[in-house]
Amino acid sequence: MTGDGADGGHLRIRDATALDASSLAAFAAALFRDTYATSAAPADLESYIAQHFTAAAQTAEIAATDWRTLVAEVDGELVGYAQLWHGPAPACVHGGAGHPGPALEIKRFYVARRWQGRGIAPQLMATCLHTPARGTPIWLGVFAHNSRAIAFYSKCGFRVVGETTFLMGQDPQRDYIMLAPSALESRGSES
């Protein structure tokens, strides 16, 4: 996707390649620290970063067929990214009954602080929601105290359908599970 970004800059949203792995890892680590510095213990934060935001880990996720990594750039500057993963999801994503089944999870969704509120996030989300979901719902987990992210996802039509625990290092945190509008529509048409 391409279009006008903030201040008339040129916004481009594209799938990441192996060449993006190092810069994405550094960008993602910095954004993760910025987002959770006041809500997580430094050791838990660094443990998560060391596991997930290395060039090697990002190279693997970018290459994996069950992952999709999107980067958002304004005039070539990395300003945001999103990562989706097709895999098992909690039962509430599937209507609450029966066993957990597969679904498309928006695992990470981040916009650099100085670009927040400037129209990047809605376009990045639109690209996420156009990802082929193989007939499964699209969902995400969000830290229950992350009110700005919850407001943004709600504005995009997501609704809370349950809760889960996210392990930040050794610290279990409460997350809301939110379902994408397309999944909510099909759920509504079934009832």
Q: Is 41 or 126 the residue whose CB approaches ligand COA more closely?
A: 126
Q: Is 168 or 183 the residue whose CB approaches ligand COA more closely?
A: 168
CB of residue 128 to ligand COA, shortest distance in Å: 11
Site for ligand COA contains 81 (CB under 6 A)? no
Dist. CA 45–CA 53, nearest whole Å: 11
Q: Give me the DSSP letters along 73-124.
A: EETTEEEEEEEEEEEE--GGGGTS-SS--EEEEEEEEEE-GGGTTTTHHHHH
Dist. CA 148–CA 150, nearest whole Å: 5
Site for ligand COA contains 35 (CB under 6 A)? yes
**Residue 40 backbone phi and psi in degrees, to 5:** -135, 150
Q: Where does this chain touch ligand COA (CB under 6 A) — which range of 46-54, 97-105, 108-116, 181-189?
A: 108-116
Sign of CA dihedral 18, 80, 168, 173: negative
Site for ligand COA contains 109 (CB under 6 A)? yes
Residues near 189 by beta carbon (within 8 Å), at least 6 away in sequence: none
> Which listed residue (79, 111, 133, 178) binds ligand COA by CB under 6 A?
111
Dist. CA 107–CA 126, nearest whole Å: 15
The alpha-helical segments, DSSP class H, found in the chain are: 21-36, 42-52, 55-63, 120-129, 147-155, 181-190
CB of residue 189 to ligand COA, shortest distance in Å: 28
Q: Which of residues 119-158 bind ligand COA (CB under 6 A)?
A: 121-122, 142, 146-149, 151-152, 155
CB of residue 32 to ligand COA, shortest distance in Å: 8
Q: Where does this chain touch ligand COA (CB under 6 A) — which range of 17-25, 61-69, 103-111, 157-165?
A: 103-111
Radius of gyration for the alpha carbons in the chain, expressed in angstroms and rounded = 16
Site for ligand COA contains 22 (CB under 6 A)? no
How many residues touch ligand COA under the rule CB under 6 A: the total is 16
Dist. CA 47–CA 177, nearest whole Å: 24
Site for ligand COA contains 84 (CB under 6 A)? no
Contact residues for ligand COA, defined by CB under 6 A = 35, 109-111, 116-117, 121-122, 142, 146-149, 151-152, 155
